Amino acid sequence: MLFAGKLSRRSFFKRTGMAAGSMLLGNLFSKLAILEAWAQDGYPPTFRQVFKVDQITDPLWKQKLRWYNVSGLAGDPAQVLNAKKFEEYFGCKTEGVPVAHEKMADILLTDIRAGTSEADVWQFTFPTLFSLYIQNHGLEEISDFATTQDAWVPSMKEALTFPQASFEGFGGGPSDFPYRKGLYGIPVRTLFWGGCFYNKIVFKKAGLDPEKDLETVPEFLDALRKIKRDTKVKYPLVFPYSAVTEGVQIPISWFVRFGGREFDEKGNPQFDSPEYLEMLKFMNTLVKEKLVSKGILTITEGEATASFYRGEAAVMFNSQENILFTQLAEVTGKGFEKEFEGKVAWDVARTTHMPTLEGIGYRDWKKTFSGCGVGECTGVPIMSKRKRAAAIFADFLSYPDCQAAEFLIEGNLPIRADIFDLPYVREGAPYPEHMKEALENMYLVSYPNMFEILQARYEEITEMINGVRTPEETQERIQSRVKSILSR
């Protein structure tokens, strides 16, 4: 996603002149004693293949992995650094192969049907693609190699473990396919859609304290109404809704903040719940009272962010990474360079949690989540001939220094909250305690036919925003469509 000035959403410390990158180059992997064992040939003694494919038995230093991901190794300095350190440590080279989002699904299905795979490691940008690969029995079980899983945020491990009891057969495969229960992916980074941002400047103009959390929905709505009444801000709230990703993930964040769950323990959809109706009513109120513009239907993540920092909105719901800009003038666009020159995002904005319903504690993590997360993960294709090397590499990317590099250099949220306990991360990161709390209490799931279900919900909510149906009618249609998709 690009902002004004073609600034990547993930640009962070690499533009500040700070020594984060060089520091990591000098100190990376000072405490990776367990990786010494991986470097020894024959440990673990075998790769317990789910689907047996003749393996290349050369030592790691003679192998070269093909790593399929969106940017290859051209557009992500953190990935370049981590691949370089993997080669330095093990002698194993890594070739990054760029694959566009829209082409990933076609390549995955073609490989599975052909019984071959050019990729040794897949990096799935969205859980929908991971779900697709699992449903088509395309990934290896790699729990023996996941040495850091105790440090992952809790929802990550659950979402990557199959088969899942909630959904009969999901990841289990047909009876003639030798799937076993285990871990089928290792997380790389987190995209957290529960981000809630206050523009400090606009709040103060409205006579509101930006350091005070708006904890409940009534309190939140009253604040937006006051901002609309007492300032020149026409639409006090902004969030992106131009694509399925943010268009569904942000409402899911509201839903789980309201105490809802998408599915029960048996995999039954719960979009007919009171919490889901409250979420739809909340969204409908925002549109009807013109607290948010109907124009959100065409607003991208980057456009919402630029508008928010320019002061055209007081509150923004968006991905958490949007608090990490260190060159705010490049984000806000032409005509605003002087006004925002030398400012970082957290000079202008504060990040906190979304509001919740009355009767649910703002931080009652037994009843509510911090918001919805999307886990980007790696997986090893069943047809790969370098499974052991690929699994070691996937595990390597989850280690603390690799995760810190992703965060400090590229602004990608980690998959483990303990990164925010590292002194060199805490010194540079804005709101580290909030981001740690958000990750630890994040909602993240995977389920069958995930993309189709998300698309159906996106379409129905869009119709509601356009005034075609009421929240009650929208809820009924969503529940019916999801049940129909799952019953096929």
CA distances from residue 235 to 228, 275, 315 in whole angstroms, order as listed: 7, 26, 9
How big is the CA angle at 486 (ends 483 and 487), to the nearest 5 degrees? Answer: 85
Q: Ranked by mean pLDDT, which of 54-58, 350-354, 425-429, 484-488 comes out on top?
A: 350-354
Q: Is the pLDDT of residue 279 over 90?
A: yes
Write out pLDDT tens, residues 144-176: 899 899 999 988 888 888 777 677 666 655 444
Q: Is the pLDDT of residue 254 over 50?
A: yes
Q: For all residues of the chain together, what is the average pLDDT?
A: 86
Q: Is the pLDDT of residue 177 over 50?
A: no
What's the pLDDT at 29?
46
Q: Is the pLDDT of residue 20 over 80?
A: no
Query: Which residue's structure tokens are 């504060």?
Result: 350
Q: Is the pLDDT of residue 16 over 60?
A: no
| Residue pair 297/241 in contact by the 8 Å Cβ criterion | yes
Kindly state the tokens that stand for 303: 């456009």
Distance CA 320, CA 371 (A): 10
Least confident span in 216-220, 274-278, 420-424 = 420-424
| Interval 212-230 mean pLDDT | 98
What's the pLDDT at 219?
98
Write out pLDDT tens, residues 353-378: 999 999 999 999 999 999 999 888 99
| Interval 340-355 mean pLDDT | 96
Q: Is the pLDDT of residue 46 over 70?
A: no
What's the pLDDT at 429?
85
- Under the banding of pLDDT at 50, 70 and 90, the label for residue 49 is confident
Question: How many C-beta neighbours within 10 Å does residue 232 have?
Answer: 10
| Interval 395-419 mean pLDDT | 91
pTM reported for the whole predicted model: 0.89
Write out pLDDT tens, residues 190-210: 999 999 999 999 999 999 999
Q: Is the pLDDT of residue 5 over 80?
A: no
| Residue pair 73/79 in contact by the 8 Å Cβ criterion | yes
Percent of the chain with pLDDT over 70: 87
- Structural domains of the chain ordered from first start: 4-191+375-443 (3.40.190.10), 195-369+449-486 (3.40.190.10)
Least confident span in 27-41, 361-375, 465-479 = 27-41
